[in-house]
Amino acid sequence: MGISKFQLQLLRKIPKEPLAPVSTNELADALNSVNLKKVSRESLRKRIINNINQLENLFPDSLQIYKTEKDHKYRLSSKAPLLLTPMSQEEVIAFGILSQYGTELIPDRTFEALSPYFQEAQEAAYQLARDAGYGVKASKTLAGNWLQKIAVVPAVLPFTAPSVNPEIKRTVHKALFYEEMLKLKFHNVQTAKSESCVASPLALVQQGVRTYLIVKKQGVKKPERILMARIQEASITSGHLEYPVNWNLSDFLTQGISHAVFPSDLYGQIYEFKLWVEPSTQWLKETKLSECQTHIDNADGSYTLIASLALTEELVRWIQSMSCHVKVLEPKFVVKRVKEDLKATLGLYS
């Protein structure tokens, strides 16, 4: 249900719980300052009261009205719909960043449904600047430019996201939300052939620009990961959702999401890692691999880093990516793996 431009202006001047309520006279002063067409104070007071009564009927329990003999005071309830309330600076930042950096975990239609909030965030940014004393032109500049001062960069390379069929994406999100079974056809990179299955959707996991659907296939005990971009067909089908024994997404993710090289039962297990780190790589002391990380400084400026970590392929690949800056000392089976991979790499360049 729509509201008038005046009502929207009015709502933007009413504080939200737990802030102190504002009186009719205070609202009249605030609205007179933003309206070019001046009207008498009494006329504006009556208009305010009439419009607040309309808003109270349209949105029950959203407005708190305190009536006194001298004047009425108003405040928006903390439970009022977001678009009724003036966005706080924190909400402006949140919706602004979401509009710029929406992820694949948000369905397309949901992202579209959030469009009014993104627009409101832009308008609220302008209003925040105006309330802080900036002029119209400066406020528009601030509201238009602030998101250009925020960026998100990947920890590695800025890969291009693989394409996902929008209809498949909608079907997967629907199945996850309503806990329905999926009939899938997808490209199996191990066999280089298409594979079909009926599966229980368990979770969506985003790793960088790649989004994985975690499923339990019918007749298979362990959960599996399927890259969304590899799904060729997806449809809702009948059946009851099945979960792996003791299923827990957080526990599953401790094993990593990448293709296994070690025996699968090693992944997710905690090992004490000891790494020699060369002198120029001091940043690992402040960007820790784990909360329990410690280090021992060496006389030459290098140091030995000690941390208890769950084994994942992502961890092994990170160690390999550090090349001559980091050397694995323990566990010995990881040392052996890194040596073998380096030998194979050297063979490519010989």
Q: In this structure, are residues 268 and 254 in contact, taking their beta carbons and an 8 Å threshold?
A: yes
Whether 111 has a pLDDT exceeding 90, the answer reads no
Between residues 229 and 115, which one has the greater pLDDT? Answer: 229
> Do residues 31 and 102 share a domain?
no
Q: What is the mean pLDDT of residues 155-159?
A: 84
Residue 56 sits in a domain whose CATH number is 1.10.10.10
Write a three-state SS string for 34-84: CCCCCCCHHHHHHHHHHHHHHHHHHCCCCEEEEECCCCEEEEECCCCCHHH
> Do residues 241 and 185 share a domain?
yes
Residue-wise pLDDT tens digits, 1-48: 456 778 878 888 888 888 899 999 999 888 876 554 667 888 888 899
Residue 309 sits in a domain whose CATH number is 3.30.70
Between residues 152 and 35, which one has the greater pLDDT? Answer: 152
In a domain, 257, yes or no: no
Q: In this structure, are residues 80 and 63 in contact, taking their beta carbons and an 8 Å threshold?
A: yes
pLDDT band at residue 84, thresholds of 50, 70 and 90?
Answer: low
In a domain, 161, yes or no: no
pLDDT of 35? 58
> Do residues 106 and 142 share a domain?
yes
Whether 259 has a pLDDT exceeding 70, the answer reads yes
pLDDT of 92? 84
Of all residues in the chain, what percent carry a pLDDT higher than 90? 53
Tokens of 75: 């405040």
Residue-wise pLDDT tens digits, 278-319: 999 999 999 999 999 999 999 999 999 999 999 999 999 999
> Do residues 277 and 345 share a domain?
yes
Whether 149 has a pLDDT exceeding 50, the answer reads yes
Domain extent, residue 120, equals: 89-149
The count of structural domains within the chain is 4
> Do residues 271 and 341 share a domain?
yes
Other Cβ atoms closer than 10 A to 19: 10
Pick from 130-134, 308-312, 334-338: least confident: 130-134
Whether 213 has a pLDDT exceeding 70, the answer reads yes
> Do residues 226 and 269 share a domain?
no
Peptide bond into 18 cis (omega under 30): yes
> Do residues 286 and 343 share a domain?
yes
pLDDT of 37? 62
Residue where a domain stops, chosen among 84, 103, 120: 84
Tokens of 248: 């827990």
Tokens of 306: 């000690």
In a domain, 16, yes or no: yes
Residue-wise pLDDT tens digits, 237-257: 999 999 999 999 999 999 999
